[in-house]
A = this chain, B = another copy of it.
């Protein structure tokens, strides 16, 4: 595990973060494994922070990408029609949207998740003529100014350098440990014309908060939220950037709840191959943009469209992946519960849904030590949560049972090493 020469580090801004915890120089990756320059393998339970749901360099997608580049198809196409774009649109529509009863139109807002969120917020404001957005405690939606204003993390908010306005945070599901009826505060404020809450254009929500600490909202909470939005004429934006593309089981994380968001943000794993791509899906009646009113240079990175279409064909033709993810998720849950039971004095909390799983420790220090111990043992995973107190795993959905068990064993060992029992 060698770090790069000091020269290279000195060339880069101090804003870099992952390389501080994982000083290895990585060079190759297949499936759930990453190798550093010395050939040391790491089992990857991080998966590009959710951008690699189908693992690294999946062989079928690799064929597609090699073929795409080899045949000199368009790499960069903005919003011109291309063969790859048309194929993606048809595949996405036929295999993802229609079977789920969705008739949303697809906008290509730019290459990353923040673009999808920015476009969603802009459109919601344009449609409603209102400015305010309601977000939730511990939400994460991105680092550009609009996306950051609806993000909770105070370090990241502080980086804006200007007051972040137009957003009011409401308590996420279970924020008060069940002591308070859902949406009591939010609905009371909406129904009171003297509350001082600006009538929101939209609510933006994650069905499972990843960066916020692997907080999974209950299906009934999401349904109640969708209902609330309808009653108060507020658009519902579902940010499925990290939790979509099968992370929680179904393609969309909100399927289980049976709701239909007005606007859906997708990115991260949508290309299936870790390539920059994002979508903003909008209900047809909301699609009132002028041509070019929102645009962006890399909104048409077409190799990503090619792998995205193929990934859909490969993984979403039937429910095999969905059922596998649920089964693996249940397995992780039971293993985490064993750790919770093993260390009652530490009041660990198992969290999550599907293969978005977390184990909450009492302090950031403990969670960080466990991740460091796992790294020493060849497992990549990171922390999340407001204080980084949650050990978070987002393994490739395609990992084998053996890989899953190997990773869980390393987690057990790492927790034992840190909490002092074996």
User: Which residues in B have their C-beta under 8 angstroms from that of A25?
Assistant: 81-83, 86
Q: What 0/1 readout, one digit per residue, does chain A (75-111) give for beta carbons within 8 Å of chain B?
A: 1111111110010011011000000000001111011
User: Which residues in B have their C-beta under 8 angstroms from that of A175?
Assistant: 188
- A162 near B166 (CB under 8 angstroms)? yes
Asked if A161 meets B112 with Cβ closer than 8 Å, knowing A290-B155, A297-B268, the reply is no
User: Which residues in B have their C-beta under 8 angstroms from that of A212?
Assistant: 194
A118 to B64, CA, bound (A): 34
Confirm or deny: A32 has a beta carbon within 8 angstroms of a beta carbon on chain B. Answer: no
User: Which residues in B have their C-beta under 8 angstroms from that of A168?
Assistant: 168
- B80 near A15 (CB under 8 angstroms)? no
Confirm or deny: A142 has a beta carbon within 8 angstroms of a beta carbon on chain B. Answer: yes
Shortest Cβ distance from A62 into chain B, in angstroms? 6
- B26 near A81 (CB under 8 angstroms)? yes
User: Which residues in B have their C-beta under 8 angstroms from that of A154?
Assistant: 193-194, 199
Select A188's contact among B176, B201, B268, beta carbons within 8 Å: B176
Confirm or deny: A342 has a beta carbon within 8 angstroms of a beta carbon on chain B. Answer: no
A51 to B287, CA, bound (A): 28
Confirm or deny: A374 has a beta carbon within 8 angstroms of a beta carbon on chain B. Answer: no
A135 to B189, CA, bound (A): 13
Confirm or deny: A267 has a beta carbon within 8 angstroms of a beta carbon on chain B. Answer: yes
Give A83's nearest chain B residue, CB to CB: B27
Confirm or deny: A420 has a beta carbon within 8 angstroms of a beta carbon on chain B. Answer: no
Select A13's contact among B15, B132, B169, B282, beta carbons within 8 Å: B282
- B75 near A274 (CB under 8 angstroms)? yes
Shortest Cβ distance from A348 into chain B, in angstroms? 19
- B287 near A14 (CB under 8 angstroms)? yes
Confirm or deny: A143 has a beta carbon within 8 angstroms of a beta carbon on chain B. Answer: yes
- B143 near A171 (CB under 8 angstroms)? no
Select A79's contact among B17, B126, B132, beta carbons within 8 Å: B17
Confirm or deny: A301 has a beta carbon within 8 angstroms of a beta carbon on chain B. Answer: yes
Shortest Cβ distance from A33 into chain B, in angstroms? 10
* Partner-binding segment picked from A65-73, A223-231, A328-336, A354-362: A65-73
A120 to B57, CA, bound (A): 33
* Partner-binding segment picked from A1-9, A399-407, A408-416: A1-9
Shortest Cβ distance from A59 into chain B, in angstroms? 10
- A145 near B167 (CB under 8 angstroms)? no
Asked if A37 meets B107 with Cβ closer than 8 Å, knowing A163-B162, A287-B14, A289-B15, the reply is no
Confirm or deny: A234 has a beta carbon within 8 angstroms of a beta carbon on chain B. Answer: no
- A15 near B276 (CB under 8 angstroms)? no
Which residues 268-322 of A sit at the B interface, judged by CB distance below 8 A? Answer: 268, 273-276, 280, 282, 287-298, 301
Confirm or deny: A113 has a beta carbon within 8 angstroms of a beta carbon on chain B. Answer: yes
- A62 near B73 (CB under 8 angstroms)? no
Among A144, A154, A201, chain B packs the most CB atoms within 10 A around the CB of A144
Confirm or deny: A131 has a beta carbon within 8 angstroms of a beta carbon on chain B. Answer: yes
Select A115's contact among B92, B114, B135, B199, beta carbons within 8 Å: B114
